[in-house]
Each structure stands twice: as C-alpha cells, then as structure tokens.
Structure 1
C-alpha cells in the first residue's frame, strides 16, 4: 500500500513539474500571440492584456499576408521538418538496433564514430556541404535541407535509441525468431513499439532545431520558392522592423506550428515519463 502511495505521489509530482514547465515556457508565446491581435496603442499601453473590442486589430496579419508568401513558407518548413524527422527516426532506429543487437568487430568504434556527430557541429562543414550541393545541383531545393538535417539528427538518434534498445528483452526477440519472424518484423513489430517514448524524445529534440534553423536555409535554399518560415519571417521582420503589429503577427505565425508539433510529439514523451514514475 505504501509503495502504491509513493508511486502515486511521484506521478503527481511529475505531472506538476510538467505543468509548471509548460506554463513558464508558453507564457512568452502567449504574450506574443495576444499582442499580435491588438492595435499599436494597446500593445504599448498594456502588453499583458487580452484583446478587447476596442483594441482588437488584424492589421498585422493583413500586412503579413499581403507582403509575404507565408503559405508557401509554411509548406516548405513542414515538408522539410516532416521528411527529415521521418528519415532520422527510421535510419536512426535501424542503426541503433544493429549496434545494440548484433555483436561484430568494430561495434564499439562504430558507435563512437556515430556519436562524434553530437560533439562536432555540422555547421563547421558548411563550405564543404555547399560545394557538394552545388556539384549535385541541389542548391535552392528542399532536398538539400532534408539531407543536411537528416545527417545532423542521426548521431543523437542513434545514441539515444541504442541505449533504449539494449533494454528490450532478449527473450521477446528470441521468441519471435523461434516463431519464424524475420529481423525486419522483429524490429518493426516488437522493438519499435517498446521504444516509442525514446522515439518521441528524439523527435522533439530533432524537430525544434530544424524548424527554427536559419543558417542552412540561408546558405542552401535562399530563393523565394524554397524559403522556410524562419527565413521568411526574418526577412519580413527586417523589412518591417518598426511595424510592431506586422512583426508580432509574423512571429506568431512562425511559433504556432512548431508549438503544435511539439505538443503532438511530447504526449508520448510525457506518457513515458509518468509511466516510469508509476513503476
């Protein structure tokens, strides 16, 4: 009974910490969004007040939609982020499964080699990456960004997922082999569902840097047809730096999609944390 109460208390504490963290993290976003719906006078008079009938104004969003192609920017960012996450999770999970499941000469060295990507920033190779993209004819394409972000996210994915996959029961995998399941079936049907919280963790830590990145879109895909939402917002803000309504509207449009994606992926992360607390 006491153990059950202790587990319940830890679960409640975990929920409380997560709620507090969410409130603190979302408060600046809340301030930006509510001010994007107010006129200039109301923004400076009372920035923490919600829009009223007198202060409500959509002039910022009208300016954003008239001066910038934000629908295209959203589409580009969504394609790059989703495609990069898919390849990072797929290839990272497969590499982690191979490193954790099979013993071969150089296993540890291969793991250390992949982990080096965490310590060495990929931006150090910007010139070489740009030269490769130019030689491949991939400059000003979304493919270039997907390839770079996939390479950027794989080291962390392999490092995290391999540790979780080592904890998967060998008896379960061996039972699947005895039943005639192939290694691919064991990987997709038995292993991946058990490491779903780890997959969510990798997705969260990979998704936000990709969506918010300005460096590689500026270097590899600066054309109007391939601009991401972050690059498009920065260019727009530079042009309308004194127009606070337009600036706040552009920031709101850039923030809200990644916030929604974060909440979608973080549900699995929170479930894994609270499940561990109950155990």
Structure 2
C-alpha cells in the first residue's frame, strides 16, 4: 500500500466518522425535541385518570388507568358530547367546502388560459398575508345583518375564507406540475371537461388535497377566537370554547378538565395520523408509477 492510498483511506475514515458523529448528534437532538414535545401531552393524559388531590400531590406519578371516573363524568355530566358534535360538524363541513371550492378554483387557474388568471391567483395569495382577525368588527356586523350570527354558518364562512388562499396556492402549483398529455389523451377519447377533471386529474391531486386538509384541519379544530366572538348559545359551542365551562369560578375539577382535553385531542390526532399516512402512501405510489 502506497503512502497516497494510506492517506486517502485515513481521510475517508475521518469523513465517515465525521458523518456518523453529525448524524448521531442530529438523532440526539431530534429525540430530545420529541421528548420535550410529548411530555406535556403525557402529563395531560396521566392527569385525566387522577383526582385533584393526586394531581397536586404527585403530578408526574403514573396513575391508575382503571380509574375512569373522570371520563365517565365528562361523558355524562357535561355537554362534552354536544361540543364534540359541533366541532366535528363545523370542521368537517368547512374542510369539505375548502377542498371543493379550492380545487375547482386552482384547476381553472392552472389549466385554463383566460384574462386575469394571474391576478386571481395573486388575489388568493394575498389572503395568506391578511389575517381575518383584523376584520372581526366588520364581520360581526355583516353576520348580524345576514342573520347568521350565533350559528354554525358564521364559523363555516370564516373558516372557508381562511382556508381557501392556502388551498388554492397549494393546489395550483401541484396541478400545474401534472402533464398535459393526460388531458389531451382524454379529450381525444371524447371525455368532457368535467369528466377529465373528475376522473383524470382529481385522483392525481390526492396528495395535494391531503396536504391542504392537514394544513387547515388543526387550526379549525383548535380555534377559540371566532367561536368566542360569534357563538353565544351553549348548545352551539365548539370544543375549545366549551371546555372553558369546565373551569369553575371558585374551584375546578382538574381531573375532569384534563380528561376532556384528552378526549378533545384524540380525534384530531387520529385523523392527522391517518391523513399523514395516506399522503406518504400517495407519494410513494406516484413515484413507483
């Protein structure tokens, strides 16, 4: 072995060790960040199985998971079920409208050439920079005059307006990346424009639709501000607003409160995981094809 080859091997070994050390440090940082992010969630879940005394005396102790009294109280002695239904309805209907309207607008902007298409896209993009909370007073007056104040439709209208800009932006970029040969082939086979959009293009845009759904799902589900302003009837409150009623003026049953928070976080967590897996599977199947 020559001196040159020996030096090259030494440099290669140093490079491998440096890469392994950097990767190892990155793994440690990611694990530490995961623990830090999950720690409050674990404490919340544990506290849902404890009484007030156990929470204050041993907040970090592992509880008796067979003690379901707090969850039974949440389900039977509060309006949690009604709040859950309201959140599911408002979030689901808002996402449906966001995806339908956003996909249609993005398809028109991305696939058809017409006067003002670029301006229309810029109009939607501008919506990403303008928070609707700045217009809360005009919105309140508008909804009052329309007669939809203190109803589901006030929240749905706001959430659709919030979600459309990001959805149109994401979907437009994705649809523009799809090959036009697919449309041309469908037109040659006699397919209508609606048929091309529904049967050819929409199945290919599934990953982008999943991204848009995930992007809008969590903010809508967790929103507290707009229900607080537009909803006064207790029967119409969503979970973030309704859970505040669990806190008493003088005393609070923290075990019931944490149980309610755990149940409120469970559906959105499950849906988020399912959508994430579908997004990964969609991208993988697209790569294989």
Report the TM-score range of the alignment, normalised by the length of the smaller protein. 0.7 to 0.9
How far the C-alpha of 1:238 sits from its partner, in A, is 5.4
Q: Deviations over 1:234-255 (max 9, x none)?
A: 2323557643212211211221
Could you say which residue in structure 1 is the equivalent of 2:190? 180
Query: How far off is 1:132 after superposition?
Result: 1.3
Q: How many residues align structurally?
A: 261
Q: Within 5 Å, which residues of 2 pair with 1:154-233?
A: 154-233=164-243
The answer as to whether partners of 2:51 and 2:254 remain within 8 angstroms in 1 is no
Instruction: Tell me: CA distance 1:277–1:52, structure 2 relative to 1, closer, same or farther (3 Å).
Output: farther
Instruction: Please say if 1:105 is aligned against 2:105.
Output: no
Change (3 A) 1:239 1:92: farther
Query: Aligned ranges for residues 45-64 of structure 1 at < 5 Å?
Result: 45-52=57-64, 56-64=66-74
Q: Which runs of 5+ in 1 are unaligned?
A: 1-15
- The CA distance in 2 between the partners of 1:183 and 1:159, in whole Å, is 22
- In 1: Cα distance, 2:141 partner to 2:230 partner: 10
Structure with max Cα Rg? 2
1:43 aligns to what?
A: 55
Contact 1:240–1:246, Cα closer than 8 Å, also in 2: no
1:121 to 101, 113, 131: 131
CA distance in 2, matches of 1:239, 1:201: 41
Tell me, yes or no, if structure 1 residue 28 matches structure 2 residue 76: no
Q: CA RMSD in A?
A: 2.7
- Give the TM-score of the pair, scaled to structure 1: 0.84
**TM-score, with length taken from structure 2:** 0.81
Displacement after TM superposition at 1:269 (Å): 2.3
| Further displaced range: 200-209 or 27-36 | 27-36
C-alpha distance 23-92 of structure 1, shift in aligned 2 (>3 A): farther
